[in-house]
């Protein structure tokens, strides 16, 4: 059977003369112009993109949402060139005695506090003797400043320590991260009574260097997240033994509930994620925007994206619903995207091939890609909107 006539095969068979090269070049230019033309036509048929529709929705509702590309600054949308901090230091924290309804899409990153009565109702745990083993995986890079807090948070976990193992996966650090991680691993297994603990150093390249603002630049996200996925997958291959559960925790958490593991086990799902918030003045705000549920609008938007295009969160208004906005649905709610802040995965899912996609997978990558892949494999992906980990 003759080989299909791709440009490569034509080249191999007969492309030696300058005429053919010229024809091929013209052909390529033609194709390129055709693509441009098609893109333009699509715009004409689609005068209002989903983002424009959203923008209009916001204007009509006249609300004051907060969207940000830089976490420490607040930008009001629709943006008109002025930045204003809408959070007043003196303003008391809002405490609601009801659970706000689920919005159509998330339009604010402020997470109102709820009364203790409501919270306790959604955080109650059964009286159980725990026996499941669990391994905590934490990728680290230039994280020396975070590791002390990280240790404090892990040590105060009330889940039986002899059932917990902890592994670090470090690469590309130019501070003392690896040395400190090794020291911590020793302390975890000796002083703190954890089962196994070790710090791995991975000799890989491709990480993204720079200050916070630079590495969070939109165009850097593919490379940054790809490398993170690679680090996580290496950690998985090196660290996973016979544990029942894998708990992914980023090292930059500042505070976690001491019954975090019991809470996540309560869900009894294949993948389950708590909220990841941060405190700003007197407010709680959503930090990890990779934990979301798709909406009709976000799915529609994806239909118009090229295969290799990422739909990133945290770079402007979203068309998805973030986990903290799903509280009205109950204690354990279905979601479609997860982050790495804290994430419990049934270890068998990983054993059966679930990994962190290192390339664009249905318009997402890394942790969000993991969630999409899990769903494809038939696993359950859930969030616990009342369980709050702080970044
Ligand atoms: N091994 C490894 N770990 C990394 C690398 N970059 C980040 N990490 C770790 O991976 C986790 C998540 O990285 P972050 O830089 O916090 O990424 P993020 O949570 O998406 O972004 P932030 O908003 O800055 O928190 C943290 O525990 C980091 O220390 C890397 O290049 N290699
Ligand atoms: C931008 O917003 C500020 C503050 O709300 C307002 O005073 C100003 O008129 C706006 N400018 C434009 C060009 O819309
Ligand atoms: C847990 O174990 C303790 C001590 O062995 C026992 O007294 C208790 O009844 C057990 N609880 C449950 C819920 O199994
Ligand atoms: C790290 O990897 C590079 C490239 O694969 C290799 O040349 C080098 O020897 C490795 N270094 C160590 C310490 O293994
Ligand atoms: Mg982080």
Q: What is the CATH number of the domain that holds 282?
A: 3.90.550.10
**Closest ligand to the CA of 130:** 3
Nearest-CA residue for ligand 2 atom 8 is 80
333, part of any domain? yes
Q: How far is 61 from 107, CA to CA, in rounded Å?
A: 11
Of 45, 64, 83, the one marking the end of a domain is 45
pLDDT of residue 72: 34
| Ligand 3 near 6 CB (within 6 A) | no
**Closest ligand to the CA of 143:** 1
Nearest-CA residue for ligand 3 atom 2 is 129
pLDDT of residue 269: 98
pLDDT of residue 20: 59
0.75 surpassed by pTM: yes
Residue 26's domain comprises 17-45
**Closest ligand to the CA of 150:** 1
| Ligand 2 near 77 CB (within 6 A) | no
pLDDT of residue 206: 83
Give the residue from 282, 289, 273 showing the smallest Cα distance to 389.
273
pLDDT of residue 331: 98
366: left (phi over 0), alpha (psi -120 to 50) or beta: left
Kindly state whether residues 371 and 223 are assigned to the same domain: yes
Kindly state whether residues 199 and 308 are assigned to the same domain: yes
Non-local (6+) Cβ contacts of 28 within 8 A are none
One-character DSSP codes across 77-104: SS--S-------TTSPPPEESSPPPPPS
3, part of any domain? no
Nearest-CA residue for ligand 3 atom 10 is 129
322, part of any domain? yes
β-pairing, 95-96 vs 271-280, is unpaired
pLDDT of residue 281: 77
On whether the CB atoms of residues 386 and 122 are closer than 8 A, the answer is yes
Could you give the 3-state DSSP secondary structure of residue 381?
A: strand
| Ligand 1 near 383 CB (within 6 A) | no
pLDDT digits (tens, 9 = 90+) for 251-264: 999 999 999 999 99
pLDDT digits (tens, 9 = 90+) for 68-110: 333 333 333 334 444 455 566 666 677 899 999 999 999 888 8
| Ligand 3 near 131 CB (within 6 A) | no
2, part of any domain? no
**Cα dist. 186→160, 194, 198 in Å?**
18, 10, 7
Extract the residue ranges of the chain whose pLDDT is less than 70.
1-26, 28-92
pLDDT of residue 22: 53
pLDDT of residue 21: 63
Neighbours of ion ligand 5 (CB under 5 A): 250, 252
Kindly state whether residues 39 and 126 are assigned to the same domain: no
56, part of any domain? no
- How many distinct structural domains can be found in the chain? 2
């Amino acid at each position: 059977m003759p080989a299909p006539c791709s440009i490569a095969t034509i080249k191999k068979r007969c492309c030696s003369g300058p005429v053919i090269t010229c024809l091929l070049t013209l052909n390529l230019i033609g194709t390129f112009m055709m693509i441009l033309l098609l893109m333009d036509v699509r715009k004409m048929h689609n005068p209002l993109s989903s983002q424009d529709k959203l923008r209009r929705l916001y204007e009509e509702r006249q609300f004051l949402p907060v969207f940000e590309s830089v976490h420490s600054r607040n930008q009001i949308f629709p943006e008109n060139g002025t930045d204003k901090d809408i959070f007043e230091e003196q303003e008391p924290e809002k405490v609601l005695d009801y659970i706000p309804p689920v919005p159509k899409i998330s339009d604010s990153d402020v997470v109102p506090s709820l009364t203790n009565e409501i919270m306790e109702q959604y955080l109650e745990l059964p009286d159980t003797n725990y026996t499941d083993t669990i391994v905590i995986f934490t990728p680290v890079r230039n994280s020396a400043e975070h590791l002390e807090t990280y240790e404090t948070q892990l040590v105060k976990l009330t889940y039986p320590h002899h059932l917990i193992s902890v592994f670090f996966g470090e690469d590309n650090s130019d501070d003392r991260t690896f040395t400190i991680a090794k020291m911590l691993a020793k302390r975890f297994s000796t002083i703190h009574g954890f089962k196994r603990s070790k710090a791995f150093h991975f000799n890989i390249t491709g990480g993204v260097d720079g200050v916070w603002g630079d590495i969070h630049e939109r165009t850097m996200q593919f490379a940054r997240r790809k490398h993170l996925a690679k680090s996580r997958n290496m950690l998985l291959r090196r660290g996973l033994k016979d544990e029942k559960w894998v708990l992914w925790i980023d090292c930059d958490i500042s505070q976690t509930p001491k019954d975090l593991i019991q809470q996540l086990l309560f869900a009894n799902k294949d993948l389950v994620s708590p909220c990841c918030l941060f405190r700003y003045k007197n407010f709680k705000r959503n930090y990890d925007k990779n934990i979301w549920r798709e909406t009709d609008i976000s799915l529609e938007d994806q239909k118009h994206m090229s295969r290799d295009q990422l739909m990133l969160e945290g770079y402007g208004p979203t068309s998805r619903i973030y986990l903290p906005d799903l509280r009205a649905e109950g204690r354990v709610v279905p979601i479609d995207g997860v982050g790495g802040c804290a994430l419990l995965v049934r270890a068998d899912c990983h054993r059966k091939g679930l990994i962190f996609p290192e390339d664009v997978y249905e318009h997402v990558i890394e942790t969000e890609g993991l969630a999409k892949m899990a769903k494809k494999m038939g696993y359950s992906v859930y969030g616990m909107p009342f369980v709050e980990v702080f970044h």
